[in-house]
Structure 1
Amino acid sequence: MNRAYLALAGLQMALIFWFSAQPGDTVGIPAPWDKLVHAGVYALLGHFLAQGTQRPLFSWSLAVLYGLSDEIHQMFVPGRVFDLGDWLADAGGAALAILAWSALSRRAGRLQR
């Protein structure tokens, strides 16, 4: 377990929460760019979680559940909604980063099976 990466994951989660708490009229990322932003933000979260826990499936599950909680949170923010496409972009971004990290870690012999 790498606590520095877990701390970065916690910071990333706090930033996601803060941005998600902004009212809808202050968010101005047009489609389809918003999905790329979601994927990128959650790719970074997935990377931090994978580095921190060294457990790819667990890391992906945490990122996906956090993405779900984020979308639910947005239902209570004025001008924001639950968007299934955003959640899928979150899950996909986290998956891509974790799969890449896992492959590189196996190649380097650092990932325990």
Structure 2
Amino acid sequence: MGQRLAGKRLYLGLALGWMGVLWLLSSQPATGAGLPHPWDKAAHFAAYALLGFLWQRGLGRFRPAFLLSALYGVVDEWHQSFVPGREAFGLDLMADFLGAYLGARGAGRWEALRGARP
């Protein structure tokens, strides 16, 4: 049980750290050298899929993992709207939500597969 709790704490710490990285990235003023469409949506998707995955592995439950990740996407888009040259887009938020959903859902399935091993 001790290793399992340590593993959950590790994932929770990684989720918080990843949130910090996302905040720092979205704090950077736009220089015009960002990813072109549609690759920017793919980056949003991947970033929030990782966040959903980390929260689900740390919390062990899909719903709170997804909700925390999706809510952070809202907060981060709002924050980004105040950064010079950056904007908050609904499509970015949709990519965040979809990534968070699939990341959290996938982490749960991965855990189920790991538990099914002999």
Q: TM-score, normalised by structure 2?
A: 0.86
What corresponds to 1:74 in structure 2? 80
Secondary structure, counterpart of 1:6 in structure 2: helix
1:83 aligns to 2:98 (yes or no): no
- Indicate the structure (1 or 2) with the bigger Cα radius of gyration: 2
User: Following TM superposition, by how much is the alpha carbon of 1:10 offset from its aligned partner in structure 2, in angstroms?
Assistant: 0.7
Aligned residue among 61, 66, 76 for 1:60: 66
Instruction: For structure 1, list consecutive stretches of 5 or more residues without a partner in the other structure.
Output: none
Aligned partners of 2:57 and 2:108 also within 8 Å? no
Matching residue's letter, 1:67: G
Partner residue of 2:52? Answer: 46
Shift of 1:9: 0.4
Greater mean deviation of Cα atoms: 91-100 or 60-69: 91-100
CA-to-aligned-CA distance 1:3-43 (integer Å, 9 cap, x gap): 11010001100000000000012651100000000000111
Identity across matched positions, percent: 39
| CA distance in structure 2 between the aligned counterparts of 1:36 and 1:107, rounded to whole angstroms | 27
| 1:94 paired to 2:94 | no
The CA RMSD measured in Å over matched residues stands at 1.5
Structure 2: segments with no counterpart, 5+ residues: none
Q: 1:27 to 1:50 in 2, by over 3 A?
A: farther
Equivalent in the alignment of 1:3: 9
Cα distance in 2, alignment partners of residues 8 and 26 from structure 1: 30
Counterpart code for 2:106: A
